[in-house]
Amino acid sequence: MIVAGGPLLIAIDGPAASGKGTLARLIAAHYDLPHLDTGLTYRAVAQAMLAAGLDLDNAGAALAAAEAIDLAALDRSALSAHAVGEAASRVAVHPAVRRILVEKQRGFAAQPGGSVLDGRDIGTVVCPDAPVKFYVTASPEVRARRRHDEILHNGGTAQFDTILADVIRRDARDMGRADSPLRPAADAHLLDTSAMTIEAAFRAARSIIDQARV
């Protein structure tokens, strides 16, 4: 429950292409809250390492890249490539990287009026006390179809089967890592968007948020 006048902090987690990012943006716009896509912070680390030709498994180099991340300078369009998402899930296994990025993300979350954060570990690790949490999911086939359509829409090329294999591999990596694995918080509201439009998911989320406010 959110105490009247207290911060409206909303945590949204879920696997790749589940619709969590779109939902987070709609919620942030509707409630006039600042929004952080925490995936961009991991993507920025991966992008910096790829650009410098560094090995993604090198924890020391990944830590240095994480320390240099400036939340205010994250550029979604420069970080959106499918390959950068793949590389992000590899740097995201390093506990030292997570420690630094989580600290920055908590700084963002602590805004007096509240905020919306989306990622993989927001409800479980970054903001475990968030008064409203969502876990957004969809079947791997539906998510792969969305990601594939998105790539084609942006003028890229990709095979559906390759994208589906990537989605399944990324789920396994994100759910199987030792530090902060992707999983729903015990008090998260589950939204399965496999057969739901984004408008329907947004309506469901809004009614949950409005009920949590006193």
> Which residues of this chain interact with ligand CDP, rule CB under 6 A?
16-17, 21, 38-39, 42-43, 85, 88-89, 92, 119-121, 170, 174
Residue whose CB is less far from ligand CDP, 1 or 73: 73
Q: What is the residue type of 196?
A: M
Which of 133/170 has CB closer to ligand CDP? 170
Q: Which of 10, 16, 36 is nearest to 175 (CA)?
A: 16
Nearest residue (CB) to ligand CDP, 61 versus 101:
101
Give 213's DSSP letter. Answer: B
Distance in Å, CB of 120 to ligand CDP, minimum: 4
The nearest distance, CB 12 to ligand CDP, in angstroms, is 10
Q: How far is the CB of 56 from ligand CDP (least distance, A)?
A: 12
Q: Is 205 exposed, middle or buried (0-12, 13-18, 19+ CB in 10 A)?
A: buried
Contact 22, 35 (CB under 8 A): no
HSE-CB at 184 with a 13 A cutoff on CA atoms is 14
Cβ closer to ligand CDP: 94 or 189? Answer: 94
Residue keyed to tokens 């991991």: 42
Give the Cα separation of 155 and 150 in Å (integer): 9
Q: Is the dihedral of CA 207, 121, 16, 139 positive or negative?
A: negative
Least Cβ distance, residue 208 to ligand CDP (angstroms): 21
* 3-state SS class at 191: strand
Q: How far is the CB of 32 from ligand CDP (least distance, A)?
A: 23
Considering beta carbons, is residue 38 or 47 the nearer one to ligand CDP?
38
Write down the least CB distance from residue 64 to ligand CDP, Å.
18
Alpha helices in 52-182 (DSSP H): 59-67, 82-91, 95-109, 140-153, 160-176
In the complex with ligand CDP, which residue's Cβ is closer, 158 or 213? Answer: 158
